[in-house]
Amino acid sequence: MKDTNQPKTAYPSVTDQLEKPSWSEIRAAQAVQRVKIAYYCLNDPLDKRSWSGIPYYLGQTLHKHIGEVDFLGPVKVPWLLEKTMRAVMKFTRYVLRREYLPQYSLLKNKWAARYLKQRMKGKQYNLLIAPAAASELAFLHTDLPVVYFGDATFKAYSNTYKTVFDKVVAFTKWEGNYLEKRSLKKSSLIVLTSRWAAQSAINDYGVPAGKIEVILLGASIDHPPARDIIFQKEANKTLTLLFLAVDWERKGGAIAFAALEHLHKRGIQARLVVCGVIPPPEFFHPCMDVIPFVDKNLTEDYKLFLELFSSAHFMLLPTRADCTPVVNSESSAYGVPVITTDVGGVSDTVEDGVNGYCLPLEAGGEAYATLIAELFADKERYHQLIRSTRDRYERDLNWDAWADQFKKVLERHAL
Protein backbone atom coordinates (compact mmCIF):
# COMPACT_ATOMS: atom_id res chain seq x y z
CA MET A 1 0.00 0.00 0.00
CA LYS A 2 1.30 3.36 -0.96
CA ASP A 3 2.24 5.63 1.93
CA THR A 4 0.25 8.80 1.34
CA ASN A 5 1.93 10.55 4.26
CA GLN A 6 5.35 10.51 2.59
CA PRO A 7 6.53 14.08 2.00
CA LYS A 8 6.11 15.28 -1.54
CA THR A 9 9.11 16.36 -3.57
CA ALA A 10 8.79 19.94 -4.79
CA TYR A 11 9.65 19.90 -8.46
CA PRO A 12 10.54 23.33 -9.91
CA SER A 13 8.26 24.61 -12.66
CA VAL A 14 9.54 25.30 -16.15
CA THR A 15 9.23 29.01 -15.42
CA ASP A 16 11.35 28.70 -12.30
CA GLN A 17 14.09 26.89 -14.20
CA LEU A 18 14.46 29.72 -16.70
CA GLU A 19 16.78 32.58 -15.84
CA LYS A 20 15.07 35.93 -15.89
CA PRO A 21 16.50 38.17 -18.62
CA SER A 22 18.42 41.23 -17.56
CA TRP A 23 17.22 44.73 -18.45
CA SER A 24 19.97 45.06 -21.06
CA GLU A 25 18.83 41.79 -22.67
CA ILE A 26 15.26 43.04 -22.77
CA ARG A 27 16.37 46.27 -24.44
CA ALA A 28 18.49 44.29 -26.91
CA ALA A 29 15.51 42.11 -27.79
CA GLN A 30 13.37 45.19 -28.32
CA ALA A 31 16.02 46.70 -30.58
CA VAL A 32 16.04 43.54 -32.70
CA GLN A 33 12.31 43.87 -33.20
CA ARG A 34 12.48 47.48 -34.31
CA VAL A 35 12.00 48.17 -38.00
CA LYS A 36 15.18 48.96 -39.93
CA ILE A 37 14.61 52.06 -42.06
CA ALA A 38 16.69 53.31 -44.98
CA TYR A 39 16.21 57.09 -44.88
CA TYR A 40 16.71 58.09 -48.48
CA CYS A 41 17.17 61.77 -49.29
CA LEU A 42 19.42 64.08 -51.29
CA ASN A 43 20.11 66.76 -48.66
CA ASP A 44 21.49 66.53 -45.14
CA PRO A 45 18.72 65.04 -42.94
CA LEU A 46 20.42 66.39 -39.82
CA ASP A 47 20.32 70.02 -40.99
CA LYS A 48 17.33 71.91 -39.58
CA ARG A 49 17.58 74.44 -42.43
CA SER A 50 16.83 71.80 -45.07
CA TRP A 51 13.19 72.00 -46.25
CA SER A 52 12.15 73.98 -43.14
CA GLY A 53 13.56 71.25 -40.89
CA ILE A 54 11.03 68.64 -42.03
CA PRO A 55 13.56 65.90 -42.99
CA TYR A 56 15.30 66.37 -39.62
CA TYR A 57 12.17 66.16 -37.46
CA LEU A 58 10.66 63.39 -39.57
CA GLY A 59 13.84 61.34 -39.18
CA GLN A 60 13.94 61.89 -35.42
CA THR A 61 10.27 60.93 -35.16
CA LEU A 62 10.82 57.70 -37.08
CA HIS A 63 13.76 56.84 -34.83
CA LYS A 64 11.74 57.57 -31.69
CA HIS A 65 8.52 55.77 -32.62
CA ILE A 66 9.03 53.43 -35.56
CA GLY A 67 12.50 51.89 -35.80
CA GLU A 68 16.23 52.21 -36.38
CA VAL A 69 16.93 54.91 -38.98
CA ASP A 70 19.95 54.87 -41.26
CA PHE A 71 20.41 58.41 -42.63
CA LEU A 72 21.77 57.88 -46.14
CA GLY A 73 22.03 61.51 -47.26
CA PRO A 74 23.43 63.91 -48.17
CA VAL A 75 24.47 62.90 -51.68
CA LYS A 76 27.97 63.89 -52.76
CA VAL A 77 27.84 64.97 -56.39
CA PRO A 78 31.08 64.49 -58.37
CA TRP A 79 32.94 67.65 -59.29
CA LEU A 80 32.72 66.96 -63.04
CA LEU A 81 28.96 66.37 -62.91
CA GLU A 82 28.42 69.51 -60.86
CA LYS A 83 30.50 71.52 -63.35
CA THR A 84 28.51 70.08 -66.26
CA MET A 85 25.21 71.07 -64.63
CA ARG A 86 26.49 74.62 -64.12
CA ALA A 87 27.50 74.81 -67.76
CA VAL A 88 24.01 73.73 -68.85
CA MET A 89 22.47 76.33 -66.53
CA LYS A 90 24.63 79.09 -68.01
CA PHE A 91 23.86 78.03 -71.57
CA THR A 92 20.09 78.02 -71.06
CA ARG A 93 20.20 81.31 -69.16
CA TYR A 94 22.39 83.35 -71.50
CA VAL A 95 21.66 81.71 -74.85
CA LEU A 96 18.07 80.47 -74.55
CA ARG A 97 17.03 83.14 -72.03
CA ARG A 98 15.43 80.43 -69.91
CA GLU A 99 16.30 78.62 -66.66
CA TYR A 100 17.44 75.04 -66.26
CA LEU A 101 16.94 73.39 -62.84
CA PRO A 102 19.65 70.75 -62.23
CA GLN A 103 17.76 69.12 -59.33
CA TYR A 104 15.54 67.53 -62.00
CA SER A 105 18.39 66.40 -64.24
CA LEU A 106 18.06 62.73 -65.23
CA LEU A 107 21.85 62.37 -65.23
CA LYS A 108 22.25 63.88 -61.76
CA ASN A 109 19.46 61.75 -60.31
CA LYS A 110 20.83 58.57 -61.83
CA TRP A 111 24.05 59.36 -60.00
CA ALA A 112 22.11 60.07 -56.77
CA ALA A 113 20.33 56.71 -57.00
CA ARG A 114 23.64 54.94 -57.58
CA TYR A 115 25.30 56.77 -54.68
CA LEU A 116 22.49 56.03 -52.23
CA LYS A 117 22.30 52.41 -53.39
CA GLN A 118 26.01 52.09 -52.62
CA ARG A 119 25.37 53.50 -49.13
CA MET A 120 22.78 50.74 -48.61
CA LYS A 121 25.11 47.96 -49.75
CA GLY A 122 25.62 45.15 -47.24
CA LYS A 123 22.92 46.45 -44.88
CA GLN A 124 19.57 44.90 -44.03
CA TYR A 125 16.44 47.05 -44.05
CA ASN A 126 12.70 46.47 -43.71
CA LEU A 127 11.56 49.73 -45.23
CA LEU A 128 12.79 52.63 -47.35
CA ILE A 129 11.39 56.11 -46.65
CA ALA A 130 12.09 58.90 -49.12
CA PRO A 131 11.20 62.41 -47.86
CA ALA A 132 11.02 64.98 -50.66
CA ALA A 133 13.13 62.64 -52.79
CA ALA A 134 10.95 61.94 -55.79
CA SER A 135 13.76 62.82 -58.19
CA GLU A 136 16.43 60.67 -56.49
CA LEU A 137 14.01 57.78 -56.00
CA ALA A 138 13.12 57.47 -59.68
CA PHE A 139 16.15 55.39 -60.72
CA LEU A 140 16.60 53.33 -57.56
CA HIS A 141 16.27 49.57 -58.01
CA THR A 142 15.22 47.88 -54.79
CA ASP A 143 12.99 45.10 -53.50
CA LEU A 144 12.25 47.04 -50.33
CA PRO A 145 8.80 48.52 -49.70
CA VAL A 146 9.13 52.21 -50.56
CA VAL A 147 7.30 55.00 -48.71
CA TYR A 148 7.20 58.27 -50.64
CA PHE A 149 6.78 61.36 -48.46
CA GLY A 150 6.16 64.87 -49.76
CA ASP A 151 4.03 68.01 -49.71
CA ALA A 152 3.35 68.27 -53.46
CA THR A 153 3.77 66.45 -56.74
CA PHE A 154 5.95 68.02 -59.43
CA LYS A 155 2.84 68.98 -61.41
CA ALA A 156 1.20 70.70 -58.44
CA TYR A 157 4.47 72.35 -57.44
CA SER A 158 5.31 73.67 -60.91
CA ASN A 159 1.76 74.93 -61.47
CA THR A 160 1.75 76.67 -58.09
CA TYR A 161 5.18 78.33 -58.24
CA LYS A 162 4.55 80.03 -61.55
CA THR A 163 7.05 82.86 -61.01
CA VAL A 164 9.79 80.21 -61.02
CA PHE A 165 8.52 77.69 -63.54
CA ASP A 166 7.25 80.14 -66.16
CA LYS A 167 10.93 80.92 -66.83
CA VAL A 168 12.04 77.28 -66.88
CA VAL A 169 13.09 75.52 -70.08
CA ALA A 170 10.54 72.96 -71.30
CA PHE A 171 13.01 70.08 -70.93
CA THR A 172 13.24 70.64 -67.17
CA LYS A 173 9.45 70.36 -66.90
CA TRP A 174 9.54 67.12 -68.89
CA GLU A 175 12.30 65.74 -66.67
CA GLY A 176 10.44 66.69 -63.49
CA ASN A 177 7.23 64.99 -64.57
CA TYR A 178 9.11 61.91 -65.77
CA LEU A 179 10.94 61.51 -62.47
CA GLU A 180 7.75 62.09 -60.46
CA LYS A 181 5.81 59.50 -62.41
CA ARG A 182 8.52 56.85 -61.99
CA SER A 183 8.80 57.49 -58.25
CA LEU A 184 5.07 57.41 -57.59
CA LYS A 185 4.73 54.20 -59.57
CA LYS A 186 7.44 52.31 -57.68
CA SER A 187 6.28 53.48 -54.24
CA SER A 188 4.34 51.00 -52.12
CA LEU A 189 2.80 53.83 -50.09
CA ILE A 190 2.54 57.57 -50.75
CA VAL A 191 2.26 59.83 -47.69
CA LEU A 192 1.34 63.43 -48.52
CA THR A 193 0.72 66.42 -46.30
CA SER A 194 -2.55 67.69 -47.79
CA ARG A 195 -5.64 66.69 -49.75
CA TRP A 196 -4.53 69.17 -52.42
CA ALA A 197 -1.32 67.22 -53.03
CA ALA A 198 -3.18 63.90 -52.92
CA GLN A 199 -5.64 65.11 -55.54
CA SER A 200 -2.76 66.01 -57.86
CA ALA A 201 -1.22 62.54 -57.50
CA ILE A 202 -4.56 61.00 -58.46
CA ASN A 203 -5.54 63.39 -61.26
CA ASP A 204 -2.15 64.24 -62.78
CA TYR A 205 -0.34 60.91 -62.41
CA GLY A 206 -3.11 58.33 -62.21
CA VAL A 207 -2.11 57.05 -58.76
CA PRO A 208 -4.82 54.83 -57.18
CA ALA A 209 -6.44 56.62 -54.24
CA GLY A 210 -5.93 53.54 -52.05
CA LYS A 211 -2.17 53.95 -52.34
CA ILE A 212 -2.23 57.48 -50.84
CA GLU A 213 -2.48 58.62 -47.23
CA VAL A 214 -2.67 62.21 -45.94
CA ILE A 215 -0.92 62.93 -42.63
CA LEU A 216 -0.49 66.52 -41.44
CA LEU A 217 2.96 67.93 -40.72
CA GLY A 218 4.27 68.30 -37.20
CA ALA A 219 5.96 71.47 -35.97
CA SER A 220 9.71 71.91 -36.54
CA ILE A 221 10.46 72.68 -32.90
CA ASP A 222 12.29 70.66 -30.27
CA HIS A 223 9.96 71.39 -27.35
CA PRO A 224 6.55 73.10 -27.33
CA PRO A 225 6.03 75.76 -24.65
CA ALA A 226 3.93 75.03 -21.58
CA ARG A 227 0.26 75.89 -22.09
CA ASP A 228 0.31 78.75 -19.59
CA ILE A 229 3.09 80.48 -21.53
CA ILE A 230 1.01 80.81 -24.70
CA PHE A 231 -1.36 83.25 -22.97
CA GLN A 232 1.39 85.65 -21.89
CA LYS A 233 1.12 87.49 -25.21
CA GLU A 234 -2.26 88.85 -24.08
CA ALA A 235 -0.42 91.19 -21.69
CA ASN A 236 1.28 92.81 -24.70
CA LYS A 237 -0.85 95.88 -25.58
CA THR A 238 0.89 96.40 -28.93
CA LEU A 239 -0.74 94.24 -31.60
CA THR A 240 2.25 92.21 -32.85
CA LEU A 241 2.19 90.47 -36.23
CA LEU A 242 4.87 88.01 -37.32
CA PHE A 243 5.71 87.57 -41.01
CA LEU A 244 8.07 84.58 -41.19
CA ALA A 245 9.24 83.78 -44.72
CA VAL A 246 12.23 83.67 -47.05
CA ASP A 247 10.39 85.03 -50.11
CA TRP A 248 8.87 88.49 -49.71
CA GLU A 249 6.88 88.48 -52.95
CA ARG A 250 5.53 84.92 -53.00
CA LYS A 251 4.60 84.94 -49.31
CA GLY A 252 2.59 88.14 -49.73
CA GLY A 253 4.92 90.59 -48.00
CA ALA A 254 3.35 93.59 -49.75
CA ILE A 255 -0.08 92.59 -48.45
CA ALA A 256 1.25 92.10 -44.92
CA PHE A 257 2.79 95.58 -45.12
CA ALA A 258 -0.50 97.04 -46.39
CA ALA A 259 -2.30 95.37 -43.48
CA LEU A 260 0.06 97.12 -41.05
CA GLU A 261 -0.68 100.48 -42.69
CA HIS A 262 -4.45 99.90 -42.54
CA LEU A 263 -4.25 98.99 -38.87
CA HIS A 264 -2.47 102.26 -38.13
CA LYS A 265 -5.06 104.16 -40.13
CA ARG A 266 -7.64 102.66 -37.77
CA GLY A 267 -5.69 104.07 -34.85
CA ILE A 268 -4.51 100.63 -33.71
CA GLN A 269 -1.04 100.44 -32.23
CA ALA A 270 0.43 97.61 -34.32
CA ARG A 271 3.89 96.22 -35.04
CA LEU A 272 5.02 93.95 -37.89
CA VAL A 273 8.06 91.71 -37.36
CA VAL A 274 9.53 90.48 -40.65
CA CYS A 275 11.85 87.51 -40.20
CA GLY A 276 13.80 85.56 -42.82
CA VAL A 277 13.85 88.12 -45.63
CA ILE A 278 14.78 91.76 -46.28
CA PRO A 279 11.86 93.67 -47.82
CA PRO A 280 12.49 95.89 -50.86
CA PRO A 281 13.54 99.45 -49.82
CA GLU A 282 10.16 100.99 -50.70
CA PHE A 283 8.57 99.02 -47.84
CA PHE A 284 9.52 101.06 -44.81
CA HIS A 285 7.51 101.73 -41.68
CA PRO A 286 8.70 102.88 -38.24
CA CYS A 287 6.67 100.05 -36.68
CA MET A 288 8.20 97.33 -38.86
CA ASP A 289 11.20 95.37 -37.55
CA VAL A 290 13.34 93.26 -39.89
CA ILE A 291 15.35 90.19 -38.87
CA PRO A 292 17.07 89.07 -42.09
CA PHE A 293 18.01 85.52 -41.16
CA VAL A 294 17.58 82.95 -38.40
CA ASP A 295 19.56 79.70 -38.37
CA LYS A 296 17.79 77.20 -36.13
CA ASN A 297 20.95 75.10 -35.99
CA LEU A 298 22.52 77.84 -33.83
CA THR A 299 21.49 78.01 -30.18
CA GLU A 300 21.15 81.80 -30.02
CA ASP A 301 19.20 82.01 -33.26
CA TYR A 302 16.90 79.21 -32.15
CA LYS A 303 16.18 81.08 -28.90
CA LEU A 304 15.32 84.18 -30.94
CA PHE A 305 13.05 82.07 -33.14
CA LEU A 306 11.15 80.87 -30.06
CA GLU A 307 10.96 84.39 -28.59
CA LEU A 308 9.36 85.67 -31.79
CA PHE A 309 6.60 83.08 -31.53
CA SER A 310 6.13 83.74 -27.82
CA SER A 311 5.50 87.47 -28.29
CA ALA A 312 3.41 87.51 -31.51
CA HIS A 313 -0.39 87.79 -31.44
CA PHE A 314 -0.85 86.57 -35.03
CA MET A 315 1.17 84.90 -37.75
CA LEU A 316 0.39 87.00 -40.83
CA LEU A 317 1.17 85.10 -44.02
CA PRO A 318 -0.91 86.23 -47.03
CA THR A 319 0.92 83.75 -49.26
CA ARG A 320 0.35 83.85 -53.01
CA ALA A 321 1.53 80.28 -53.68
CA ASP A 322 2.26 77.49 -51.22
CA CYS A 323 2.11 73.77 -50.53
CA THR A 324 1.85 73.04 -46.78
CA PRO A 325 3.86 75.58 -44.77
CA VAL A 326 5.25 73.94 -41.63
CA VAL A 327 5.17 77.37 -39.99
CA ASN A 328 1.41 76.84 -39.55
CA SER A 329 2.12 73.89 -37.25
CA GLU A 330 4.85 75.84 -35.42
CA SER A 331 2.53 78.79 -34.84
CA SER A 332 -0.16 76.51 -33.48
CA ALA A 333 2.27 75.10 -30.91
CA TYR A 334 2.65 78.62 -29.50
CA GLY A 335 -1.04 79.40 -29.65
CA VAL A 336 -0.42 81.97 -32.40
CA PRO A 337 -3.40 82.01 -34.80
CA VAL A 338 -2.41 82.04 -38.47
CA ILE A 339 -4.04 84.59 -40.78
CA THR A 340 -3.25 83.32 -44.26
CA THR A 341 -4.53 82.49 -47.74
CA ASP A 342 -6.58 79.57 -49.02
CA VAL A 343 -4.08 78.27 -51.59
CA GLY A 344 -2.45 74.87 -52.13
CA GLY A 345 -2.63 72.69 -49.04
CA VAL A 346 -2.77 75.58 -46.54
CA SER A 347 -6.36 74.98 -45.43
CA ASP A 348 -5.48 71.47 -44.22
CA THR A 349 -3.35 72.92 -41.42
CA VAL A 350 -5.26 76.18 -40.82
CA GLU A 351 -8.91 75.64 -39.95
CA ASP A 352 -11.12 78.72 -39.91
CA GLY A 353 -12.05 79.72 -36.37
CA VAL A 354 -9.88 76.98 -34.84
CA ASN A 355 -6.23 77.95 -35.34
CA GLY A 356 -6.61 80.90 -37.67
CA TYR A 357 -8.36 81.91 -40.88
CA CYS A 358 -7.75 81.41 -44.61
CA LEU A 359 -8.76 84.38 -46.72
CA PRO A 360 -9.39 84.16 -50.48
CA LEU A 361 -6.47 84.83 -52.81
CA GLU A 362 -7.95 88.14 -53.98
CA ALA A 363 -8.11 89.58 -50.43
CA GLY A 364 -5.90 92.63 -49.94
CA GLY A 365 -4.25 94.30 -46.97
CA GLU A 366 -7.44 95.99 -45.82
CA ALA A 367 -9.30 92.67 -45.58
CA TYR A 368 -6.49 91.19 -43.47
CA ALA A 369 -6.39 94.28 -41.25
CA THR A 370 -10.17 94.21 -40.75
CA LEU A 371 -10.17 90.58 -39.65
CA ILE A 372 -7.16 91.00 -37.35
CA ALA A 373 -8.61 94.15 -35.74
CA GLU A 374 -11.93 92.42 -35.15
CA LEU A 375 -10.31 89.36 -33.54
CA PHE A 376 -7.92 91.37 -31.38
CA ALA A 377 -10.64 93.76 -30.13
CA ASP A 378 -12.79 90.91 -28.79
CA LYS A 379 -10.57 89.77 -25.91
CA GLU A 380 -12.74 86.79 -24.98
CA ARG A 381 -12.87 85.57 -28.59
CA TYR A 382 -9.13 86.05 -29.00
CA HIS A 383 -8.40 84.18 -25.76
CA GLN A 384 -10.51 81.27 -26.98
CA LEU A 385 -8.72 81.36 -30.34
CA ILE A 386 -5.34 81.03 -28.59
CA ARG A 387 -6.71 78.03 -26.69
CA SER A 388 -8.17 76.29 -29.76
CA THR A 389 -5.01 77.02 -31.77
CA ARG A 390 -2.90 75.17 -29.20
CA ASP A 391 -5.51 72.39 -29.03
CA ARG A 392 -5.18 71.89 -32.78
CA TYR A 393 -1.42 71.51 -32.37
CA GLU A 394 -1.80 68.96 -29.58
CA ARG A 395 -4.39 67.00 -31.52
CA ASP A 396 -3.10 67.05 -35.11
CA LEU A 397 0.00 69.18 -35.75
CA ASN A 398 2.78 67.51 -33.73
CA TRP A 399 5.18 64.75 -34.71
CA ASP A 400 3.96 62.29 -32.06
CA ALA A 401 0.49 62.52 -33.59
CA TRP A 402 2.08 62.01 -37.01
CA ALA A 403 3.81 58.86 -35.75
CA ASP A 404 0.57 57.46 -34.30
CA GLN A 405 -1.14 57.87 -37.66
CA PHE A 406 1.84 56.53 -39.57
CA LYS A 407 1.89 53.33 -37.47
CA LYS A 408 -1.77 52.74 -38.34
CA VAL A 409 -1.04 53.43 -42.00
CA LEU A 410 1.81 50.90 -42.05
CA GLU A 411 -0.48 48.27 -40.51
CA ARG A 412 -3.29 49.08 -42.92
CA HIS A 413 -0.98 48.70 -45.92
CA ALA A 414 0.73 45.62 -44.41
CA LEU A 415 4.20 47.21 -44.53
Greater pLDDT, 249 or 303: 249
> Are 407 and 260 in a shared domain?
no
**Is 90 exceeded by the pLDDT of residue 70?**
yes
Q: Do residues 375 and 261 both lie within one domain?
A: yes
Q: Per-residue b/e over 266-291, b at no fewer than 16 CB within 10 Å?
A: eebebbbbbbbbebeeebeeebbeeb
Domain-located, residue 406: yes
- Distances from the Cα of 87 to the Cα of 100, 106, 300, 338, angstroms: 10, 16, 39, 42
Structurally, the chain folds into a number of domains equal to 2
pLDDT score for 169: 96
Confirm if 312 and 285 have CB atoms less than 8 A apart: no
Question: Do 243 and 290 share a domain, yes or no?
Answer: yes
pLDDT band of 47, cuts 50, 70, 90 = confident
E strand or H helix at 382: helix 379-395
Mean pLDDT within 138-158: 95
Which residue from 146, 152, 65 is spatially nearest to 398, judged by alpha carbons? 65
196 and 262 in one domain?
no
One domain, residues 193 and 249 = no
pLDDT digit string, tens, across residues 82-98 = 999 999 999 999 999 99
Band the pLDDT of 299: cuts 50, 70, 90. confident
- Mean pLDDT for the stretch of residues 113-121: 93
- Residue 5 within a domain: no
Expressed as residue numbers, the domain containing 37 is: 32-218+400-412
Largest CA distance in the chain: 113
Q: What is the mean pLDDT of the chain?
A: 90
Query: How would residue 31 be classed by pLDDT, with cut points 50, 70 and 90?
Result: very low
Asked if residues 294 and 134 have their Cβ atoms less than 8 Å apart, the reply is no
**What is the residue-wise DSSP string for 331-342?**
HHHTT--EEEE-
Pair (197, 102) in one structural domain: yes
Residue 208 and residue 340 in one domain: no
**Looking at the domain assignment, is residue 8 inside a domain?**
no
Q: What is the CATH number of the domain that holds 184?
A: 3.40.50.2000
pLDDT digit string (tens) for 248-292?
999 999 999 999 999 999 999 999 999 999 999 999 999 999 999
203 and 123 inside one domain:
yes
Q: Is residue 298 part of a domain?
A: yes
| pLDDT tier at 359, thresholds 50, 70, 90 | very high
Same domain assignment for residues 241 and 170: no
In a domain, 12, yes or no: no
Give the pLDDT of residue 73.
Answer: 85
H-type alpha helices, 166-217: 170-186, 195-205
- Write out pLDDT tens, residues 52-65: 889 999 999 999 99
Residues 200 and 333 reside in one and the same domain: no
Same domain, 65 and 211: yes
Mean pLDDT over 354-372 rounds to: 98
DSSP 121-169: TT---SEEEEET-HHHHTT---SS-EEEEES--HHHHHHH-HHHHTTB-
In a domain, 2, yes or no: no
pLDDT, residue 239, reads 98
388 part of a folded domain = yes
pLDDT band at 48 (very low <50, low <70, confident <90, very high): confident
Output the pLDDT for position 1.
43
Q: Is residue 6 part of a domain?
A: no
* 344 shares its domain with 315: yes
